[in-house]
Amino acid sequence: MLLRLRFADQISLFNDVVASTLALNHLFSGTILFSEYSLLDQNETAALGVGTLFSTFLFIMAMIFFSYLFRS
């Protein structure tokens, strides 16, 4: 399906995916990392934050790669 989309549509789809990912990241960061009532200690909270940011970075890099791969 991605091969049939025009490049402008692919970029629009890519932007929607990135915006959704960042919104979810912000939501989880706000509810998990900065919660007063978190059951995690400080090291686990830091590891969770770094893991979330790193996975978001990898996802964005993969989407950039696939957007170039499927460019017509």
Percent of the chain's residues with pLDDT above 70: 50
Average pLDDT over residues 47-51: 69
Give me the pLDDT at residue 32, please: 53
Give me the pLDDT at residue 27, please: 63
Q: How many helices (H) and strands (E) does the chain have?
A: 2, 0
* Cα separation, 50 vs 48, whole angstroms: 6
Q: Which domain holds residue 19?
A: 2-69
| Higher pLDDT, residue 29 or 34 | 29
Q: Where are the alpha helices (DSSP H) in the chain?
A: 7-28, 42-69
Q: Taking CA 7 as the corner, what is the angle to CA 11 and CA 23, rounded to the nearest 5 degrees? A: 10
Give me the pLDDT at residue 52, please: 73
Average pLDDT over residues 12-40: 64
Total number of domains in the chain: 1
**In 1-72, where do the E strands start and end?**
none
Structure token pair of residue 47: 């590891």
- Average of per-residue pLDDT values in the chain: 68
